[in-house]
Amino acid sequence: MPRNMNDLLIVKDVVKQYGDYTALTNANISVPKGSIYGLLGPNGAGKTTLMRIINQITAPDSGEVIFDGEPLQKYHISEIGYMPEERGLYKKMKVLDLLMFFAEIKGKTGEAVKEKALEYLKKFSLLDRKNAKIEDLSKGNQQKVQFIATVLHDPEFIILDEPFAGIDPISVSDIQRITAYLKQNGLGILISDHNVRETLGTCD
Ligand code: ATP
């Protein structure tokens, strides 16, 4: 695989086994800065496993992951935003409080983050729900909040696991519009989804 100076993420010959079962056999991908890379594959193909490896939730048995020219390590966590397939929002929290909380975990606090959170809520037509409890939002709106939580701390790289699952066509185009904007700002983006049309329409 040719190495490109512009590659933000390189996954090289990654193997992952669970007991006797090989979930990933020499996985190779490279994601340049300012690009959207799509992972398409049937259930069980190993997509989530690969995303968990990039997030350092689990480690590969062999192979390497290079992030921004260096072997992937702990401090890269703050440069990566991850929207997992199983969404993890605190149901009793209010939308804006929750967004501020997630940004703080990733080391970002203060007025500038709050302004940014409000801007994103506006982009997703959710500004009037900023003081609503998560549990009072529809599933699709909760997903949009999860998306905002993924990008709010200004990561260089974002991973979106099934961002198009269960949301209406307007929300799909909101997410496509915002990922295109983030791409233009130089982010590397990895998307895994079963909606082939939406994924192909979004990815490079
Ligand atoms: P889906 O599209 O259904 O989300 P996927 O491509 O994300 O699938 P993975 O979740 O990465 O697939 O799983 C790949 C394979 O590894 C599957 O056969 C799964 O059963 C197995 N697997 C995943 N996690 C574990 C684990 N912790 N222990 C054992 N086997 C696992």
Ligand 1 centre to CA of 31 (Å) is 22
β 80-83/157-161 pair status? parallel
The pLDDT of residue 86: 74
Burial 173-191 (b: 16+ CB within 10 A, else e): ebbbebbeebbeeebbbbb
Q: What pTM was computed for the model?
A: 0.90
Spatial distance between the Cα atoms of 164 and 22, rounded to a whole number of angstroms: 28
86 touches ligand 1 (CB under 6 Å): no
Confidence of residue 3 (pLDDT cuts 50, 70, 90): low
- How does pLDDT run across 82-91, given as a tens digit for each residue? 998 777 788 9
Phi first, then psi, for residue 124 (nearest 5°) are -100, 15
Ligand 1 centre to CA of 85 (Å) is 12
45 touches ligand 1 (CB under 6 Å): yes
For the chain, what percent of residues have pLDDT higher than 70? Answer: 98
- How does pLDDT run across 107-154, given as a tens digit for each residue? 889 999 999 999 999 999 999 999 999 999 988 899 899 999 999 999
